[in-house]
Structure 1
Amino acid sequence: MGEASESTGLLSVVGTPIGNLRDASPRVLDTLAAADVVLCEDTRVTGRLMSAFGLHVRLERCDENVMAEKVERVLERLAAGERVAFVSDAGMPGVSDPGQRLVDAALDAGLRVEVVPGPSAVTCALVASGLASEHFFFEGFLPRRPGAQRSRLEELAAVPGTLVVYESPRRAAETLARIAEVMPGRRVALVRELTKLHEEVVRGEAAELAELVAARGELRGECVIVIAAPDAGELEQRRAAAAGPGGTLEEEIAAGLAAGEPKSALAKRLAKSFSLPRAEVYDKVLAAAR
Structure 2
Amino acid sequence: MSNRTGQLHVVATPIGNLGDVSARACEILASVDHIAAEDTRHSRQLLQRLGIQGALVSLHEHNEMDRIERILSWLEAGASVALVSDAGTPLISDPGYRLVRAVHAAGYPVLTVPGPSSVIAALSIAGLPTDRFFYEGFLPARAGPRRRRLEALAGCAHTLVFLEAGRRVVATLEAMKAVFGGAREAAICRELTKRFETTRTDSLSALLEWVQADSDQVRGEFVLVVGPSSQAPLSTTAALPASDELVHMLRQEGLGAKSTARVVARLTGESINSVYRRAAGQGSETHG
**TM-score scaled by length of structure 2:** 0.77
Superposed displacement of residue 220, structure 1:
2.1
Q: Deviations over 1:198-250 (max 9, x none)?
A: 2110121112211221222362220010000012xx125xxxxxxxxxxxxxx
Superposed CA RMSD: 1.4
- Alignment check: 8 A CA contact 2:59 2:95 kept: no
Q: 1:180 is matched with which residue: 174, 177, 180?
A: 177
| Structure 1: stretches of 5+ with no match in the other structure | 1-5, 237-290
Q: 1:145 — aligned with what?
A: 142
Q: 2:227 — aligned with what?
A: 228
Q: Deviations over 1:240-281 (max 9, x none)?
A: xxxxxxxxxxxxxxxxxxxxxxxxxxxxxxxxxxxxxxxxxx
Residue 65 (structure 1) aligned with residue 90 (structure 2) = no
Q: 1:200 — aligned with what?
A: 198
**How many equivalent pairs are there?**
230
- SS of the equivalent of 1:235 reads coil
- Alignment check: 8 A CA contact 1:173 1:211 kept: no
Distance 2:120 2:150 in 1: 21
- SS of the equivalent of 1:78 reads helix
Identity rate of aligned residues, in percent?
44
Letter aligned with residue 212 of structure 1: W
Q: Deviations over 1:149-197 (max 9, x none)?
A: 0000011112210000000111111101110111112101000110112
Q: 2:48 is matched with which residue: 51, 58, 71?
A: 51
Q: 1:157 is matched with which residue: 154, 158, 162?
A: 154
Superposed displacement of residue 37, structure 1:
1.1
* The structure with more radius of gyration: 2
Distance 2:175 2:225 in 1: 14
Superposed displacement of residue 8, structure 1:
2.1
Distance 1:13 1:27 in 2: 12
- SS of the equivalent of 1:203 reads strand
| Structure 2: stretches of 5+ with no match in the other structure | 234-288
Residue 37 (structure 1) aligned with residue 34 (structure 2) = yes
Query: Could you tell which deviates more after superposition, 92-101 or 131-140?
Result: 92-101
- SS of the equivalent of 2:187 reads strand
**TM-score scaled by length of structure 1:** 0.77
